[in-house]
Amino acid sequence: MHISEDRISHIAHKIYDKLYNDDLADFPDERRALDSIKDSISGFFSIMEQVDQAVRAKLASYSQAKVPGSRDWEILYQKFYAEELAKRKW
Amino acid sequence: MRLKEEQIARLAEKVLGDLECAQLVQQKQGRGAVLAGMKAAIAKDIKQEEDLERDAEALLEQTLKAVGGQGIDRHKMLKMIKDKLAKERKIVL
């Protein structure tokens, strides 16, 4: 799942603005808080990408390989995806 | 970008957890409210992107119908329409 730097920055600002404007939170250091949010989003998608690649590799090497996009493939993808997340304690 | 509800929840949890670890946030109405706010902000943005993609597909079909669709690079045209809609709607893709 690819996500651009601009999109990460955009979502980070949306989160920050929502919390600030709805009076849900204050940020003692605006710059660092925004950078932290961006890093978290970036890290999240990086892990999602790694999990996706690991699952696809596992599916491709599966002895009864399924056709990508088929219902069987989707079911196995979800199963392996959940296993991969659990393996990473995520 | 498509995210399921549980993925949005996980992302919000990570963002807040990292802010807390670095002591960069003061939560004024409790952790649950902050998490709910984050999830709402992420979900709203993703919904806008999904709406844009749906509208862009519809506009592409209309355009192809109007001009006959011959010699048109569908992928390139879709990207142009999406970029135009994103600019109009102030969405960053």
How high is the mean pLDDT of chain A? 90
Give the C-alpha separation, B66 to B64, whole Å: 5
pLDDT category of residue B88 using cuts at 50, 70 and 90:
very high
Q: What is the dihedral of CA B17, B19, B25, B31, to 10 degrees?
A: -10
Contact call for A32 and B1, based on CB within 8 A: no
Give the C-alpha separation, B36 to B65, whole Å: 43
In what helix (H) or strand (E) does residue B37 lie, and over which residues does it extend? helix B31-67
- Residue B48: its chain A contacts at CB < 8 A? none
ipTM of the prediction greater than 0.85, yes or no? no
- Residue A32: its chain B contacts at CB < 8 A? 22, 24
pTM for this entry: 0.81
Contact call for B27 and A25, based on CB within 8 A: yes
The two tokens of residue B3 are 């995210």
Measure in Å the smallest separation between the Cα of A69 and chain B Cα atoms.
Answer: 16
Share of chain A above pLDDT 90, in %: 60
Identity (one letter) of the amino acid at B70? Q
Q: How far is CA A86 from CA A51, A89, A90, B13, in A?
A: 11, 5, 6, 16
Structure confidence by residue, pLDDT tens digits, B60-83: 999 888 887 677 788 888 999 999
Taking the domains of chain A in order of start, what are their residue ranges?
A: 5-87
Q: CA nearest B16 in A: which residue?
A: A37
**Out of B1, B22, B40, whose CB is closest to A18?**
B40
**Out of A28, A32, A41, whose CB is closest to B26?**
A28
Quick check: B78 contacting A, CB < 8 Å? Answer: no
For chain A, helix, strand, coil in percent to 5 are 75, 0, 25
Q: Is the pLDDT of residue A82 over 70?
A: yes
- Residue B17: its chain A contacts at CB < 8 A? 40
Share of chain B above pLDDT 90, in %: 70
